[in-house]
Chains A and B, each alone.
Chain A
Amino acid sequence: MSKIILKIEDIHKEYGHQEILKGISFDIKEGDTVVIIGPSGTGKSTLLRCINLLTKPTRGRIWLDEKEITAPGVDEDVVRRQIGMVFQDFLLFNHLTALDNVMIGLTKLLRMPAGKAKQRAMEVLENVGLINQCNQYPGQLSGGQKQRVAIARSLAMEPRIMLFDEPTSALDPELIGEVLEVMEKLVQKGMTMLVVTHEMGFAREAADRIIFIENGDIVEDGPPEKLFYSPQKERTREFLWKITELYGEKPQ
């Protein structure tokens, strides 16, 4: 039994009278890849933002490495350094080169000397295949390259877990592959990942578990084989059928 890295319990999030998350609970074991699927507007992104405390859950508790990060008095900035986050629209720092995007967290937050930070940043950039683009600005990179820099920026901080919020949804179809490849490499290296995506191919190949969320609630939660081939709920079957048809891969 490997240990549990992330545990979330009964997470609620309300904006005004609208309840976005209606009590979500699950946990993620070290080295696991968990994929969250579900229609848009059902709170998937909100859930990820709650987990790294970018938005405060209205109710519920979250533990990272058995320490409760929703407890009062926790330094959120320190918590976020241990949780990598990759956004749909990359959000690279536009005034910094690829290398500086990756280095800035190391030098300004982890107080690493510049030489050491550069060395680590270059290593990470090499892992995502962008060593030759290290001196280019975000404006000079393609979408796929930008997203790989964004992944490198998070990885350089050596997080305990990586959150991906639809990392390929803003990309041209032919650029999706290079980002998924980097993510699959991470899976193989044993990184713990929580991925919101519509890429069913990735979900089926790489996920240890798939969680289907709709209207702020977990509909079904299980290994990919089970969700794809023998879902418990009719709604799961319907959603998977629709989305795989749309994204070109039919479940057999």
Chain B
Amino acid sequence: MFEWFRFSLSILPEFPRAIVLTIQLTLIGLAIGFCVGLLAAIARVYGGKFIRNLAIAYIEFFRGTPILVQLFVLYFGLPDLGISLSRLTAAYIALSLNSGAYQAEYIRGAIQAIGSGQMMAARAIGMSRLKAIWYIILPQALRLVIPPWSNEPIALMKTSAIVYLIAVPDLMTKAKEIIARTYNPIPTYITVALIYLVIVFFLTMILSYIERQVRIPGLEVEVQRT
């Protein structure tokens, strides 16, 4: 046990750059995924037949196929079509598009929970559909979506570990590298797992802080304690 602990401490200084890259992959994937997901959700709820089906196709494709395949197709498959992406670009695109599909469904759920009445009231005072979505629907839906959506940053950060398969130097790649050098897999994996855990802990704190900051009386999903 003590041996493990000492080993963990000895490899810790090797991780900072990998930690930064993992966080970067998560945040950028999350941010781009959010924009894509928001558009897809709006398209799915309010779009005409063609736009809606396009959104559904995107969502179902990226939720329905392994992200590993998506990543490999982007990195190893696209060069056949004359498009070469760097490792990091391929990783960003795969994580963004994959996360976007999941985020779209979270956001769609929240939009539908707001109900059609709010849209009708907005139209009744003379708002266009687009204005109603922007000023009335989204400010409410995005508040409502925070609790279920807060799964996504956590899930995405752990999913980002697969980029080690195309040798992007993230936490997981670093772990593999250390194992190859020290032949000490279990303590290394446990150390990496704990690092993920600590990052998730801080992420969760930030998210619940945001949730409290944007809270509006009477709009939150209430929890009745009895």
Report the minimum CB–CB distance from A57 to chain B (whole Å): 16
Q: How many A-B residue pairs have CB under 8 A?
A: 72
Task: Establish whether residues A93 and B121, one from each chain, have CB atoms under 8 Å apart when the complex forms.
Answer: yes
Task: Establish whether residues A93 and B143, one from each chain, have CB atoms under 8 Å apart when the complex forms.
Answer: no
Q: Which residue among A54, A95, A154 has the maximum number of chain B CB atoms within 10 Å of its CB? A: A95
**Count of chain B residues near A, Cβ 8 A:** 21
Task: Establish whether residues A77 and B127, one from each chain, have CB atoms under 8 Å apart when the complex forms.
Answer: yes
Q: Give B101-144 as 1s and 0s: 1 = Cβ < 8 Å from A's Cβ atoms.
A: 00000000000000001101111111110010001100110010
Task: Establish whether residues B218 and A140, one from each chain, have CB atoms under 8 Å apart when the complex forms.
Answer: yes
**Interface check B82, CB cutoff 8 A:** no
**Count of chain A residues near B, Cβ 8 A:** 26
**Interface check A52, CB cutoff 8 A:** yes
Report the minimum CB–CB distance from A124 to chain B (whole Å): 13
Q: Which of the residues B118, B124, B136, B140 comes within 8 Å of A85, measured between beta carbons?
A: B124
Q: Which of the residues A52, A80, A95, A105 comes within 8 Å of B219, measured between beta carbons?
A: A95
Task: Report the Cα distance A54→B122, complex, angstroms.
Answer: 11
Q: Which of the residues B125, B135, B139 comes within 8 Å of A154, measured between beta carbons?
A: B125
Enumerate chain A residues within 8 angstroms of B66, measured Cβ to Cβ. Answer: none
Contact flag A105-B126 (CB < 8 Å), given A95-B219, A138-B218: yes
Report the minimum CB–CB distance from A168 to chain B (whole Å): 18
**Interface check B221, CB cutoff 8 A:** no
**Interface check B48, CB cutoff 8 A:** no
User: For residue B128, which residue of chain A has the nearest CB?
Assistant: A77
Task: Establish whether residues A94 and B117, one from each chain, have CB atoms under 8 Å apart when the complex forms.
Answer: no
**Interface check A30, CB cutoff 8 A:** no
**Interface check B217, CB cutoff 8 A:** yes
List 3 tightest A-B contacts by C-beta distance, closest first: A139-B218, A81-B126, A91-B121
Would you give 21 A-B contacts (Cβ < 8 Å), ordered by A?
A54-B120, A54-B123, A77-B128, A81-B125, A85-B124, A91-B118, A91-B120, A92-B121, A93-B122, A93-B136, A94-B140, A94-B219, A95-B143, A95-B219, A105-B126, A108-B127, A108-B135, A109-B126, A109-B127, A139-B218, A154-B125
